[in-house]
C-alpha cells in the first residue's frame, strides 16, 4: 500500500465502501437467463413463436414443437430439452441449445453484445405410421437448473374432437351470485328452494371465433328438462348461464325449486365437455 493510502486508510476504506454501495444500488440484480411462455404447438412462426398453443395432438401430426421465450440469454447460456414418452417411460429425443441462430440452427436463441431475448424451439418429427397414443412431456433446464415441464397427449381421431374442446374450458363454477365480470362471488352446490337464481359460469381460454355453446339444466329426481340455452363465444373469459325461479318456478305447483338432485350440462359445438351436479334442500 502506498504512503497516501497508508495515512488515510480508515477514511479511504470508508469512502470506497460508500462508493461500492452507491454503484451497487444503481440497479436491481439480474435474474440471469430464464424461459417464459413455455408452449407446445404444431407450428411456429418465422421468429420461432408458436402459431397456436395446444396440448392434444392427433397420432398423425407431422411434427410437434416446444417453444419458449429465452430471456436475458448471453454467451455461455445453455438450454437442455428432453422429450419423453411418459406412458412408456422412454426418452424420445434430447437437444442442447447454446445460442447463435443461423440458417443451419434456426431453433437457437439470439446472442448480442447485451443479454438478449428471443424465441426458441425444439421439435420431434413423425417417423413412422403414427405416434403411439398416450401422454408425453417436455422437460427443460437452463444452465443446469429446472426451467419447466409441459405435458401433452397424443390421441386417435375418435378422441381428438372431445379432448380438443375440453382444453378450451379452464374452470366451471356453480353459485348463487355473480359480479359484473361474470365471476361467481357466492359459490355453492346446495341451494334453497326459494333461491332466486342459480348460476353456472364457465371460464374459457382461446376459444375459436363463433364457437357454439349450449347449457342444459335438468331436474334429475323428476327426470325433467328445465331449460336449454344456446349462444356463441370467442376468445378468453367468463361465460355465465342461469336459471331463475321467476321464469321456471311455474313448472311446479308451489312455484319453488323442488327438493332433490339437479345437473347442468355444458356443450361446445354440440360436444358434451363437462357436467356439474347440485342439490336443492
Specify whether the CB–CB gap between 108 and 98 falls below 8 A: yes
Specify whether the CB–CB gap between 56 and 153 falls below 8 A: yes
Nearest to 273 by CA among 233, 225, 222, 221: 233
Print pLDDT tens along the chain (281 aa): 333 334 444 444 343 344 443 444 443 335 789 999 999 999 999 999 999 888 999 999 999 999 999 999 999 999 999 999 999 999 999 999 999 999 999 999 999 999 999 999 999 999 888 999 999 999 999 999 999 999 999 998 878 888 889 889 999 999 999 999 999 999 999 999 999 999 999 999 989 999 999 999 999 999 999 999 999 999 999 999 999 999 999 999 999 999 999 999 999 999 999 999 999 99
Assessment of whether the complete model's pTM goes beyond 0.75? no
Nearest to 107 by CA among 151, 70, 53: 70
Q: Which cell numbers hold the place of 266?
A: 355444458
CA distance 67 to 107: 9
Domains defined for the chain, CATH in brackets = 34-165 (2.60.40.1930), 168-280 (2.60.40.10)
CA distance 187 to 171: 13
CA distance 138 to 19: 47
Q: Which cell numbers hold the place of 214?
A: 349450449
Which residues fall within 8 angstroms of residue 73, CB to CB, at 6 or more apart?
33, 99, 109, 110, 111, 115, 116, 117, 118
Amino acid at each position: 500500500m502506498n504512503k497516501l493510502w497508508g495515512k488515510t486508510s480508515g477514511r479511504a476504506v470508508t469512502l470506497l465502501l460508500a462508493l461500492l454501495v452507491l454503484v451497487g444500488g444503481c440497479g436491481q440484480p439480474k435474474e440471469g437467463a430464464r424461459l417464459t411462455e413455455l408452449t407446445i404447438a404444431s407450428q411456429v412462426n418465422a421468429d420461432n413463436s408458436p402459431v397456436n398453443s395446444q396440448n392434444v395432438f392427433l397420432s398423425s401430426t407431422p411434427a410437434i414443437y416446444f417453444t419458449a421465450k429465452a430471456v436475458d440469454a448471453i454467451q455461455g447460456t445453455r438450454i437442455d430439452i428432453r422429450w419423453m414418452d411418459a406412458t412408456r417411460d422412454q426418452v424420445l429425443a434430447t437437444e442442447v441449445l447454446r445460442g447463435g441462430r443461423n440458417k443451419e440452427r434456426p431453433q437457437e436463441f439470439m446472442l448480442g453484445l447485451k443479454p438478449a431475448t428471443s424465441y426458441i424451439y425444439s421439435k420431434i418429427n413423425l417417423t413412422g405410421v403414427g405416434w403411439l397414443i398416450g401422454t408425453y412431456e417436455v422437460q427443460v433446464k437452463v444452465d443446469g437448473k429446472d426451467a419447466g415441464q409441459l405435458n401433452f397427449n397424443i390421441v386417435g381421431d375418435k378422441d381428438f374432437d372431445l379432448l380438443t374442446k375440453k382444453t378450451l374450458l379452464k374452470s366451471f363454477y356453480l353459485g348463487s351470485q355473480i359480479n359484473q365480470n361474470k365471476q361467481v362471488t357466492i359459490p355453492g352446490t346446495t341451494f334453497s328452494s326459494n333461491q332466486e337464481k342459480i348460476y353456472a359460469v364457465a371460464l374459457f381460454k382461446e376459444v375459436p371465433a363463433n364457437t357454439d355453446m349450449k347449457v342444459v339444466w335438468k331436474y334429475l329426481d323428476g327426470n325433467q328438462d328445465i331449460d336449454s340455452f344456446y349462444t356463441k363465444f370467442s376468445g378468453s373469459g367468463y361465460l355465465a348461464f342461469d336459471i331463475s325461479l321467476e321464469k321456471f318456478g311455474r313448472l311446479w305447483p308451489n312455484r319453488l325449486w323442488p327438493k332433490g338432485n339437479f345437473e347442468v350440462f355444458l356443450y361446445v359445438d354440440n360436444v358434451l365437455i363437462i357436467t356439474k351436479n347440485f342439490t336443492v334442500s
